[in-house]
Amino acid sequence: MRYHCDYQPSLLGSAPQVLHIGPWRLHYLAFSQHSDDPRPPVLLLGGAFQSFRSFTGEVGELLNEHPVILLDLPSQGGNLQLAAELSLAQLADLIAAFIDELQLPPVMPIGLSYGSALAALFAARHPQHCDRLLLSGITALARPGARRLLQEGLDLLAGDQAGAFAQGALTGLLNPLHAQDTGVSPVFRKALLRQMQRLTPMEIERYQQNTRRLLSFSGFEAYPTCPTLLLAGEHDHFTQPWEHARFAAACRDADCVLIHQADHLAQFERREACARLYNPFLRGEALPTVTPGASRLARSQLLQLNKRHEVRRPPLSRRATLRQIDGGEWSVEMTELGFFGGLLQGNLPMAEGRGWQLQLADHSRHALLPLRHDRDGLAFVFVHSDAAASAALAAQLQPTRLPAAACA
């Protein structure tokens, strides 16, 4: 591997190098302070809507101590090659082939969101190629509600409802109940919403392929054995803190750190808190229990975090109406209500599939997806595809802090 030694942020927007492995094209940029650097490189793998330019801050900080490689696999980032036939595991194997082809030493992947699943699978399947592993927004997606919402996003795109898709996706990535905590500005929210509303046909196809890969993933057969660090935004509803903690518990040598006042985009929202952990972890130093803006979970806490990420309580007025798109209507009692979902009781239909809507006592209407129907009632998640309805519900439900035990 020959590294570029003239790093400046503008280079992240330059044409990448391309490595051909069979029919597949892998795009990458490689930087170091030395053109021939034998040290283990950091390998950056981004999320669904990230490009190399997203890593401007990380590359500048990491280069002080490590070579840095940015990699876009087929259908990732700026790599426009479609790869519908490749599974997550096969994409992870392409990372190993990339390392073999360039004769790299064991690497230290940093995987964010969608990239976290690829990085984790790579580490588990090719331990000889992985020195250390850092993950954030781990998309293992065993949670039924998350899977239903991803499928709903695919259905909305297939129905040419890009606006509804974008609104639901934005609400999943940026928790509106904690916007003041995370400090995400309305300008940034609007810019991200606009980006998702204006996806090109090619970008939509890539998103659909990547999402189908996640939904078809049946789970980890083995977990990483190298030193591993998971960073979880304390308000992340899409990939929740307890999911990060459980993944850490399944690894041989893993820590989980909560990033305070952050949700799914922790590296953007709390860049300094995350950056303080990067180099100490990559150097192999023991992480302190508390750093500014973050706290490390004790091993005994990893399986004890509360799975209920939001407090749900009976609303002041429990009466509501459940409707189906075909015209069916049922009076129901709302026994639990939260911004992301709730629980209904009453003479309920065997609800399944799409096309369900809940009308609350204030006359606002909200699209929902049924999750399960048992003796406790009908559990559901809100789709949040309508901006006005979501804003009305958020205004009704002021943020309520979880017990300290669930966040510490």
pLDDT digits (tens, 9 = 90+) for 169-207: 999 999 999 988 999 999 999 999 999 999 999 999 999
Strand order in the sheet with 17-21: 17-21, 24-31, 68-72, 42-45, 108-112, 133-136, 228-233, 254-259, 294-296, 290-291
70 and 127 housed in the same domain: yes
In the chain, the percentage of residues whose pLDDT exceeds 90 is: 81
Residue 57 pLDDT more than 60? yes
Residue carrying the six token digits 């606006």: 163
Of the residues 269, 301, 333, the one at which a domain ends: 301
Paired sense of beta strands 377-382 and 365-374, if any = antiparallel
Q: Which CATH number goes with the domain that contains 92?
A: 3.40.50.1820
Of the residues 238, 273, 301, the one at which a domain ends: 301
**pLDDT value of residue 120:** 97
Better-predicted residue by pLDDT, 15 or 309: 15
234 and 130 housed in the same domain: yes
Q: Which of 220-229, 344-353, 385-394 has the highest mean pLDDT?
A: 220-229
- Does the predicted model carry a pTM greater than 0.95? no
pLDDT, the chain, mean: 92
Q: Are 124 and 224 in contact (CB under 8 A)?
A: yes
- For residue 405, name the pLDDT band (cuts at 50, 70, 90): very low
Residue 278 pLDDT more than 50? yes
124 and 205 housed in the same domain: no
**pLDDT value of residue 233:** 96
Q: Residue 313 domain-assigned?
A: no
90 vs 56: CA distance, rounded Å = 28
Q: What is the pLDDT of residues 112-168, one digit of tens each?
A: 999 999 999 999 999 999 999 999 999 776 789 999 999 999 999 999 999 999 999
In the chain, the percentage of residues whose pLDDT exceeds 70 is: 97
**pLDDT value of residue 246:** 95
95 and 149 housed in the same domain: no
Q: Which residue from 54, 210, 205, 213 is spatially nearest to 136, judged by alpha carbons?
A: 54
Q: Which CATH number goes with the domain that contains 396?
A: 2.40.10
Q: Residue 81's domain spans which residues?
A: 9-142+217-301
188 and 65 housed in the same domain: no
113 and 150 housed in the same domain: no
49 and 90 housed in the same domain: yes
**pLDDT value of residue 401:** 43
Residue 339 pLDDT more than 50? yes
74 and 172 housed in the same domain: no
266 and 282 housed in the same domain: yes
213 vs 228: CA distance, rounded Å = 24
Stretch 202-224: mean pLDDT: 93
Q: What is the pLDDT of residues 358-402, one digit of tens each?
A: 999 888 899 999 999 888 899 999 999 999 999 989 888 865 444
**pLDDT value of residue 348:** 84
Q: Are 28 and 70 in contact (CB under 8 A)?
A: yes
Q: Are 310 and 177 in contact (CB under 8 A)?
A: yes
Stretch 258-264: mean pLDDT: 96
Q: Residue 53 domain-assigned?
A: yes
**pLDDT value of residue 347:** 84
**pLDDT value of residue 125:** 98
Q: Residue 337 domain-assigned?
A: yes
Longest dimension (CA), the chain: 71
Q: Residue 375 domain-assigned?
A: yes
Paired sense of beta strands 329-337 and 319-324, if any = antiparallel
Stretch 269-281: mean pLDDT: 93
